[in-house]
Amino acid sequence: MNIYAVAIPVPLYKTFHYTSDEVLDLGARVEVNFANRRMVGIVWGQTDAHDVEPGILKKLKPVVRVLDQSPIFDETWRALLQWLSEYYQHPLGEVCQTALPVALRKPNGNSQIAAQKYLKLTSFFQSQWDECEDAGVIFKNAGHRVASQQQALFSELAKGPKSFVDIRQGFTKATLDGLAQKSMVTSFEAPIVAGSWQQHADYWANLTHARANVEQALVVTGITSQLEQYGAFLLEGVTGSGKTEVYLQTIANVLAKGQQVLILVPEIGLTPQTVSRFEQRFGIEVGVIHSGLSDAARLSVWQKARAEQIGLVIGTRSAIFTPLPTLGMIIIDEEHDESFKQQDGLKYHARALATMIAHKRNIPLLLGTATPTAESLHNANSGKYQHFTLTQRAGGAVPAALRLVDTSQIPLTAGLADETLKTMQEHLNAGSQVLVFLNRRGYAPAVICQQCGQAQECRACDKPYTYHRAKRKLICHHCTDQVSLVPSCMHCGHANMETEGIGTEQLTAQIDALFPQYNSIRIDSDAMRGKDVLSNTLDAINANDYQILVGTQILAKGHHFANVTCVVIMDVDTALFSPDFRATEKLAQLITQISGRAGRATKPGETLLQTAQPGHPLIQDLLNNGYGHCIRTILHERQANQLPPYTHQALIRAEDPDLNKCLRLLHFAMEQCEQLQSLMLLGPLPCLIEKRQSRYRYQLLLQAEQRGYLHGVLKQLTPSIQAFAQELRIRWSVDVDNIDFS
């Protein structure tokens, strides 16, 4: 009898023992009984019977069954998962579960693809070909018109069956469908051949790319000369400098070696337009992974990647867990984007995990952005990352000029200054598009009673409801609670209420009234709900169907608007006074990214920043010296104030309807750390969102100069907090390298 330690997705910092008559592979999924429930666990290690207490030994239960033919997690992945568990102080079983596609978290999920789909000519048309070897003649005899692409595919298939994957390298789906409609082809399934995509290596090696400028060429050569080893590269390129072209040319060199490539992009940046750019360049099936896909679709990409059936995977954060046996490079585009950090469950940063993967596999990691984070820039300065820069906009486009509009002393129309309106009109008159940024959804951020002066508030969060006029609802943006708009005040019952402030819904309506001869479109998560809506809207904008774009930060995520020459940024001043020390960095990134949407083609652009704080040092630095200087100033301040990345932080959060319980847990944590000289403690303090869904939220900040020291403390601390929290019955979490205090 063998005894195995199994990692099970429960919030406990340990593995559990099970027996098996068979010898099990480490890293395999098994079905086990745990607390009278059937669960999927991962075989983590073998244990000697002498190491288990005799009393417990007798009670061990057998593994119900093994779920995979070959282990899901190889040795490298097991080491990575172990690292994740220790680094982020998260139970191993839950870490393993996070790394699995949802479909494999259940016992019936299948990790193998048995077969691949192939296409061949029907026997009738195959015999026709054997007679004349001329697709044109065959089409004509069958009464079909000339269709050169379909005939070309017909001739290819006449030589022998081809997999769908191979067909899609050279032919469109429409061509394929054309042959199918003519009943000329038939499909069948056969076992897959791993690495079939690699036979096109010569094609990629000889691919002709668009001509790169000197800067781009230097980066491509620099990275390509170091493909055989670990290396982290920070590519700092101004918006519009052609980072994607650098990615494409570098990827070609990796594919040509027969190695797979993984590209991570921000959640909202993954549109069909992004994917088709890669498909078109490489003529290859691209595996796409994002949260909008069905579990089955995600599993399919996971299976294909694992079976080496695809060479290129593009995905959002969780795509970092895709198994790619011949991985040759990882790219993280827009590395500054916050969506790369998971905010619940295992609070990992995809960039940190990518660094570990690249290290273990001895491959390069490329981080690209126009606005590098303080962390990444610090790593570049200290030599951990190699630093490349792109300073010129591709195609000779001129960077958008930043202009301040002082709104402190002047009346505004729909939140816009007269000077702003006048400038917008000029750009519209010139036939260009205008983009207006306002990071607030809904019609108005508050509804105020004119009788008692109080805002209508969500009772679960103590925060004002946002008024959504089209839905006729008050919606809490913290917990998504909705109530119908009632005519009377929830505090005093009077029926005299007015909205205060302006959101994108109201702004779009007012802009329509101010510029009636132009079409406007609202781009926020309310308006862009549903499959393909954002993608279709982007196409319509590029076809000039809309002249005025009003939107939230969705607009800041790397989309290309060739005809936008004027960008207006409204209402960002609150970030200048935020208690979060990262707020200024994020604001500088936001302004730079949005401003980068303007003047990307041949027309010069300008950005108008409306602010009541025109003299603020950050605004002045950004205006006069640009992001690159601004972030370096921020780094100096962080160093002077002993803040990350010069120190290391972790947050312990407690959430409960009973405020006292939150405080008890955090005080308990503090007591455990009392004697530690090298640890700085701050708190307990309320989170920036102090109450959400009827739970109070409090936190304790731990900070140390040495990362190793902080992790040593956390390793001691978390099991005891877990035990005390279980006793108190309170929800808690630890967030290592937290990126905010919300």
| Interacting residues toward Zn ion by CB under 5 A | 449, 451-452, 458, 460-461, 476, 478-479, 481, 489, 491-492
SS3 for 321-390, per residue? HCCCCCEEEEEEECCCCHHHECCCCCCCEHHHHHHHHHHHHCCEEEEEECCCCHHHHHHHHCCCCEEEEE
Closest separation in Å from C-beta 463 to Zn ion:
6
Which element (helix H / strand E) includes 82?
helix 75-87
Residue 278 tokens read as: 């890669």
* Side chain identity, residue 281: R
Q: Quote the Cα angle for 309-310-311, to 5°.
A: 130
In 140-200, the DSSP E strands lie at: 162-163, 185-191
Give 449 or 523: the residue with its C-beta nearer to Zn ion.
Answer: 449
Closest separation in Å from C-beta 528 to Zn ion:
23
SS3 for 584-622, per residue? HHHHHHHHHHHHCCCCCCCCCCEEEEEECCCCCHHHHHH
DSSP string covering 513-557, please?
HHSTTS-EEEESTTTT-STTHHHHHHHHHHTTS-SEEEESGGGGS
Residue 531 and residue 293 in contact, taking contact as beta carbons nearer than 8 Å: no
Give 489 or 734: the residue with its C-beta nearer to Zn ion.
Answer: 489
Give 123 or 480: the residue with its C-beta nearer to Zn ion.
Answer: 480
Closest separation in Å from C-beta 651 to Zn ion:
22
Closest separation in Å from C-beta 464 to Zn ion:
10
Closest separation in Å from C-beta 457 to Zn ion:
8
Give 117 or 494: the residue with its C-beta nearer to Zn ion.
Answer: 494
Angstrom CA distances, 664 to 385, 517, 620, 725, stand at: 42, 61, 44, 10
* Side chain identity, residue 391: T
Closest separation in Å from C-beta 493 to Zn ion:
7
Give 489 or 650: the residue with its C-beta nearer to Zn ion.
Answer: 489
Give 398 or 495: the residue with its C-beta nearer to Zn ion.
Answer: 495
Give 2 or 451: the residue with its C-beta nearer to Zn ion.
Answer: 451
Closest separation in Å from C-beta 664 to Zn ion:
25
Closest separation in Å from C-beta 491 to Zn ion:
4
108: CB partners within 8 A, 6+ apart: none
Closest separation in Å from C-beta 500 to Zn ion:
14
Give 200 or 478: the residue with its C-beta nearer to Zn ion.
Answer: 478
Rounded to whole angstroms, the Cα distance separating 292 from 306 reads: 21
Give, as one character, the DSSP assignment of residue 739.
S
- Per-position b or e across 437-475, b if 16+ CB within 10 A of its CB: bbbbbbbbbbbbbeeeeebbbbebbebbbbbbeeeeebb
Closest separation in Å from C-beta 490 to Zn ion:
8
Residue 490 tokens read as: 């929830």
Give 148 or 488: the residue with its C-beta nearer to Zn ion.
Answer: 488
Residue 503 and residue 444 in contact, taking contact as beta carbons nearer than 8 Å: yes
Residue 169 and residue 284 in contact, taking contact as beta carbons nearer than 8 Å: yes
Give 39 or 474: the residue with its C-beta nearer to Zn ion.
Answer: 474
